[in-house]
Structure formats: structure tokens, C-alpha cells
Amino acid sequence: MTLSKRLAAEFFGTFWLVFGGCGSAVLAAAFPNLGIGFVGVALAFGLTVLTLAFAVGHISGGHFNPAVSVGLAVGKRFPFSELIPYIVAQVVGGTAAAGVLYVIASGKPDFVLGGFAANGYGAHSPGGYSLLACFVAEVVLTLFFLLIIMGSTDSRAPKGFAPIAIGLGLTLIHLISIPVTNTSVNPARSTSQAIFVGGWALGQLWLFWVAPIIGGALGGLIYHGLFSEDK
């Protein structure tokens, strides 16, 4: 498969993740009487990854997340030479989805931008969690996300079930951490929302690049070091 096709798959996969996950938070979670709540948002994020991993995972690997790409590269499942193009495609795809979401959301007469599903710490954490707490949560959860991804896609794992495990894993991650950081574990998802919110969201965006990438790299390193098949 050519690189251009794989990048297109990453663009659309990340678009769907941001549009479906963040869209559920912005458009549906707070809707009077019919709101899906944070459990529904967690499920929506998991479903986006599950559906597009089945749809285009065989084309690009279904990363949809710079931290995942970094973790897979560290874990020797993905070439470092393609890391930057993948990350660019993911960030562009997520930002395009946020733009479409903004057009839709702002079509409501009483629309207020607010946090627009952005990630934050301290005063901008949904539960008021500290910078340290948010950093640790993002590192640990991204680390385990990589363990799930690498384990479920291992050649020794049952075939055809990886997207289910990965999607359910992302759902669980959101159930744990929406109150802490509004859940990132994905720098492209965080960047897409911060661009529209600006101000504090852009000022705090560094955490949602640094922590997930550290967690992803650690997850890839741990899986490769401890669990990879002996050669």
C-alpha cells in the first residue's frame, strides 16, 4: 500500500475519532433530557476507533493518534521514517473534524464555545485535578493503551478481534479519566480542540503532547522488551 493511501486512511480515521468522540461531548452529552452523559461519550470514543480500525486498519495500521505511532515505532512495529508524515496526517484530520464540528455546533442559536471538549489541568480539569495528577493519568493510560494495541495485534493473538479490544480499551480509558483531564491520550485530538478554544487550551496543550507520547513510548518499549516473541 502506498504511503499516500496510508496517510489518507490516517486522516479519515483521526477525523472520525475527533468528530465522533468530541462531537458526542459537544452535541449530545449536555442535551436537555436526552444527554448521553460522560458514559456515552466514553463509549462514543471507543466506537470511533473500533469502527475505523475495522474499516481502514488493514490499510494504515489504524493508529489515528501520534502517541500510538510513536509507541509502535519504539516497539519496532512501525518505521521511524514514516512517523512525521503519519503525525501530520493525524493532526490535519483531527483539526478538519473539529472545524466541521464547530460549524455544526455554532448553528444552534444559543451556542457558547466554552471548553469545546478541550483537555485541561488545574482549573480547567473537569474535576479540578492538579497538573501532576493529570500528567500521571495521561502517561499511565496511554502506556496501557499501547499494551492493549500491541498485544491484541500480536501475531500470536486471536485473529480479527484487535479492533474490539482496542475500542473497548479506549472506552475504559475515558471512563477513568474524563473527570481528570477530559481524556486526551491523543495529541491530535487535543490539538484539534485547543485550536478553536485558544487561550488557556493552547497554553495547556503541551501536557497533552508530552504525557501521551511518553506513555506511548513506554508502552511500546515495555511490550517489545517483555512480551515480544523470541527470535
- Smallest Cα–Cα separation from 115: which of 173, 50, 171, 41? 41
pLDDT of 230 reads 61
Could you give the C-alpha distances from 9 to 56, 58, 190, in angstroms and in order? Answer: 6, 10, 20
pLDDT of 35 reads 79
- Smallest Cα–Cα separation from 54: which of 155, 162, 185, 174? 162
pLDDT of 29 reads 81
pLDDT of 98 reads 98
Which set of grid coordinates corresponds to residue 36? 448521553
- pLDDT per residue, tens digit, the chain (231 aa), is 899 999 999 999 999 999 999 999 999 887 777 779 999 999 999 999 999 999 999 999 999 999 999 999 999 999 999 999 999 999 999 999 999 999 999 999 989 999 999 999 999 999 999 999 999 999 999 999 999 999 999 999 999 999 999 999 999 999 999 999 999 999 999 999 999 999 999 999 999 999 999 999 999 999 999 998 865
Domains and CATH numbers, the chain: 3-227 (1.20.1080.10)
Return d(Cα 58, Cα 54) in angstroms, integer.
8
Which set of grid coordinates corresponds to residue 219? 508502552
Return d(Cα 64, Cα 72) in angstroms, integer.
12
Q: Is 0.85 surpassed by the pTM of this model?
A: yes
